[in-house]
Chains A and B, each alone.
Chain A
Amino acid sequence: MLIISKIHSLLAILMIQMPSPGDIELPLPLAESDLKLFLVILFLAHILFVNLMVGGSLLAVIFEIIGLSNPKYDALGKSVSRTITVNKSLAVVLGVGPLLCISLAYTIHFYSANALTGYGWIAVVPLVTLAFLLAYVHKYSWDRWTGDDKRAHIMVGIGAALLFLCVPFIFLTNINLMLFPADWVNVKGFFSSLRVGNVFPRFFHFLTASLAITGLFLTWWFGRKKFPVEESLPGFTRPGLRRLFYRLVFYLTLAQLIFGPMLLFTLPAEGITAVMLIVIFSGVAIVIALLIALSREIDAADTSIGKSFVLVALLLTTVVLAMGTGRHLYREGALAYHKTIVTNQTDTFHSIVVATQMRLAAGLGAGDALATGPTGESVFRNCAACHAVDKVLAAPPLTDIYSIYKGDPQGIVAWARAPGKKRPEFTQMPSFAHLGDEQLELVAEYMLQKGSGASQTTSGADSGS
């Protein structure tokens, strides 16, 4: 925790300028918490089919390549490729729901990240279209492009699989970038945004998960009584296929024990909270149970393999739910501070608009331009959530601050630029370097004046509109 707070203050120094846009004013169509619940659930439904699409297209072409030397795998690859048509279509249509929700719940953050990675973002449309068309060609030409054409057929499969890999990568880059508003000003296009946060560990984690979930799906798919294993896949037996895919799931899940921590330890500290860690580690505990269940299934006799499928699937679902929730909690944590800035800005601007409209309605004209700029009082709105005049809110009151910094406003400025952590009873103060020295000086003077008791009429806490 000490390290985290060190990183925090280091980040605070780096956080020189953070955009602070106002949000769209119209009310949300449903409660924000419901929206976020929708988002998490709909996203998990979407990502399930994305996993099957990505994992399916990769496995189909891998089996096809193995099939060059061991022909029975060619038929297996073909059977896998038949599942992609439906899964990929569902992946796209189910993506619209979470897209709606995220656009509403995180309008500023999501759309800003989209714009900053603009060409990459819009490239999703032609890339997915092409991927779909290649997937159709790959599927429907499997029996026709044989002999000399087999190589071309494999290339089409590889092409589709690579495109299917590109698209989640672009999405991930966006979802990652939206979490770090402080970095937005430094981003110059899609590729430069890859330096923000930890895109690559997240991607490896996703890729491994895709293959594992597809493995489990195929365990069920080929394990069904209705699937004619003997006719369609000569050389395979139903228990053999179940074992094959169970093994795949087992080793990939084992690999997640490396990729998972890699992802967690490379996450920027902003969003890490105790609750999020608890949720993630509960997920990890279930992973251990999952591994045990899987190994039992793999070791089971041919007659009984597959009996615990439901248990395995339930355990995996729980893991996915835990990781999805952890992911959401991280996002909430990472954006908490910036969201208060945005809300503040929205409210302030709204009050200006309302006041102006009232003047106009009263026939007073719009009034004079804002020539004076910010005042100590207006800047203090950024602080009033935690600091009151003589009450302890989430931080020391102004009277306290006055006793420390009396006659030294620059001391407050320096602290606000890069706050340390002195008092164990309060949480770490975020940096306010983004306000700029001019505003920090104004607010420092204002705080000292308030803290000295020179004017008791207004307390900062109620000055927000």
Chain B
Amino acid sequence: MDFPPFFIDFFGNRLLIAVIAIIHVFINHAFAVGAYPLVTFMEWRAFRKKDPASDELAYKITFVLFVVTTSLGALTGVGIWFSTSLIAPFAIGSLLRVFFWAWFIEWLVFITEVVLIVLYFLLWKRWREGILKKLHIALGVLLSVFSWFTMVIIVAILGFMMGSGKWPADQSFFSAIFNPIYLPQLAFRTAYAMGIAGLCVWFLLFFFTEKGSLLRQRAVRFVSVWMLAWVIPFIAASIWYYHTIPANMLANLGVAMLTQKFMQWHQTLAIIMAVTIGVIIVVAAIGAIKPKLIPSVLLIVPFALGLWLLGHFERVREFIRKPYVIADYMYSNGVKLDELPVFQRDGVLTYANYVTNHRVTADNMVAAGRDVWVVTCSRCHTTRGINSMMTKFTNLYGNDPWDKDAMIAFIHSMHMTRTYMPPFPGSDKEAEALVAYLMQMQVDHKFILGAQNDWTVKPTPATQQPTGP
């Protein structure tokens, strides 16, 4: 777990990953997985009904899909690699070793997907007639399948992080892949992607059709029917997923604080799911019956709801895996479960390279506490920014000078009451130092700079010695 600590105080590490990942997931679900089958379907229908205007419309929409998916979509996908390798190299490095072949296949699928996207778009105008047109539609079908395959593989890994199933016991690739949350999550994401893609395409077609035109009405009706068709699978998948999660939660933890907080979010999730499905049904039904009635502005409502649902869904998903980054194997601060007693006995600074103090003494309490903070807290918390330690402790102890002994006791026991927190991976001395630093921070706050900024360390090889049994 020993890497130079990249750290953005204020903005927060988590938010960097979240922003990139949410943009990516949204583009992936709405534009790639959902919209490519939809435009292929549109193209096929235009071909069968000999309707060149609809074909042209599908082409224009595909142009937008092509530009967005091959730039922002592809790059935010790679961006997830980049941001996680900065913030949680220990986690992504471990996941890579477990899932190398899954990711390797994912990569081949990804290459195929991008090649198909490029071919599908660039050949549209060249393969126009007869058998060539049929081939082009087949290309669209193939592209849709490969877009979905990327999701099939990656969701296995996401599911694994939330519940590793039998893997910690047998460490086999297949136990890792077929973790309990995999299939329900895949079903949920697939149905969601198909539904939300309808909204996306609906939005786009307003830019390429004239108000009141027959083409627009036909297109709106077509997209509405598509969305209605996905409502039932979406409801079914939502219920399945919604019920799998608590089962997994209870199996994993189910302790008061976490369960309470989770239950609140879980209920919110249910409400957003229900409202989103309801609004989509209403909008799509009106679109199917009276396509003229829906102005583009109104579409923002289900669209925003869809975004919120996805954001909240990802948030709950991220929450469930806590306090782990890999369930039952590694905590979110990079400490492995089997390393914990070693750090608690010897001190985490003893083994750390990128700190200025390796041992807590009477003279270096605050400075060593700062080092402890960077090693054990900075992956998730900031000092005074988003998700800050100051706020957490102010909420707990108020604005008066904090009580040292109470805080030390809290550090040692926080994981018992706040089960989304990992246990403190340091010695008693280090807990004291950490508290000294926090108390210092309460009166005289300085932002902490990460390894990517100005940064002082004194790496000395850890003073290690095996303690024989």
Does A200 lie at the interface of the complex (its beta carbon under 8 Å from any beta carbon of B)? no
A42 to B158, CA, bound (A): 26
Q: Is the CB of B70 within 8 A of A132?
A: yes
1/0 per residue A105-120: CB within 8 Å of B? Answer: 0011011101111111
The 8 Å CB contact of A95, one of B5, B78, B89, B347, is B78
Considering the chains assembled together, what is the distance between the CA atoms of A442 and B74 in angstroms?
54
Whether the Cβ atoms of B107 and A100 lie closer than 8 Å is yes
Asked if B94 and A92 sit within 8 Å, CB to CB, the answer is no
**Inter-chain contacts of B96 with A (CB < 8 A):** 100, 103-104
The distance in angstroms between the C-alpha atoms of A412 and B6, with both chains bound, is 38
Is A100 within 8 A of B459, CB to CB?
no
Contact (Cβ within 8 A) B72 A370: no
Q: How far is the CA of A352 from the CA of B341 in the complex (A)?
A: 10
Q: Given A29-B100, A370-B464, A353 and B339 touching (CB < 8 A)?
A: yes
A17 within 8 A of B: yes
Is B242 part of the contact surface with A, judged by Cβ < 8 Å?
no
B214 contacts the other chain (Cβ, under 8 Å)? no
Q: Closest A-chain residue to B110, C-beta based? A: A93
B303 within 8 A of A: no
**Stretch with Cβ within 8 A of B (4 or more), from A184-192, A326-334, A391-399:** A184-192
B66 to chain A, nearest CB (A): 9
How many residues does chain A have at the interface if contact means C-beta atoms less than 8 Å apart? Answer: 84
In contact, A357 and B3 (Cβ under 8 angstroms): no
- Point out the residue from A20, A184, A351 that lies within 8 Å of B4, measured CB to CB: A184
CB-contacts of A441-465 with B (<8 A) = 465
Check if B67 is an interface residue, CB within 8 A of chain A. yes
Proximity bits, B161-203, A CB within 8 Å = 1, else 0: 0000000000000000000000000000000000000000000
Contact A112 B101 (CB under 8 A): no
Chain A residues near B460: list those with CB within 8 A: 17, 434-436
- Residue B75 is within 8 A (CB to CB) of chain A in the complex: yes
A162 in contact (CB, < 8 A): no
**Are A114 and B85 within 8 A (Cβ)?**
yes
Separation in Å of the B442 CB from the closest CB of chain A?
A: 28
B208 is an interface residue with CB less than 8 A from chain A: no
Smallest distance from the beta carbon of B261 to chain A beta carbons, Å?
Answer: 30
User: What's the Cα separation between A17 and B456 when bound, in Å?
Assistant: 12
- Asked whether A103 lies within 8 Å of B469 as measured between CB atoms, the reply is no
Main DSSP-derived SS at the A contact region: helix
Report the Cα distance A128→B76, complex, angstroms. 10
Chain B, interface size: which category? 35 or more
The reply to whether A100 and B103 form a contact with Cβ atoms under 8 Å apart is yes
**Minimum Cβ distance to chain B for residue A308 (Å):** 31
Does A28 contact B97, Cβ atoms closer than 8 Å?
A: yes
Contacts of B386 in A (CB 8 A): none
Q: Is A374 within 8 A of B463, CB to CB?
A: yes
> Are B467 and A355 touching (Cβ within 8 A)?
yes
A362 within 8 A of B: yes
Q: Is B311 an interface residue (CB 8 A)?
A: no
Please measure, in the bound complex, the distance between the C-alpha atom of A233 and the C-alpha atom of B386, giving whole angstroms: 57
Give min CB distance, B10 to chain A, whole Å: 14
**B82: Cβ under 8 A from any A Cβ:** yes
On whether A378 and B3 interact (CB within 8 A), knowing A93-B111, A95-B78, A118-B452, the answer reads no
CA distance A85 to B341 in the complex (A): 54
Chain A residues with CB below 8 A from B115, complex form: 90
> Is the Cβ of B341 less than 8 Å from the Cβ of A189?
no
Whether the pair A378, B101 counts as a contact (CB closer than 8 A) is no
B114 within 8 A of A: yes
The answer, yes or no, to whether B395 is at the interface (CB within 8 Å) is: no
> What residues of chain A lie closer than 8 Å to B459, measured between beta carbons?
17-20, 185, 434
Docked complex: B46-96 residues within 8 A CB-CB of A: 67, 70-72, 74-76, 78-79, 81-83, 85-86, 89-90, 92-94, 96
Known contacts A28-B97, A435-B460, then 14 further A-B pairs from the complex at CB < 8 Å, ordered by chain A residue: A85-B122, A89-B117, A90-B114, A90-B115, A93-B114, A96-B81, A185-B457, A356-B345, A356-B467, A366-B345, A369-B346, A369-B347, A370-B345, A370-B464
14 contacts between A and B (CB under 8 A): A20-B353, A99-B81, A104-B97, A116-B452, A122-B82, A124-B82, A132-B70, A189-B452, A345-B464, A349-B462, A352-B464, A366-B344, A366-B345, A375-B465
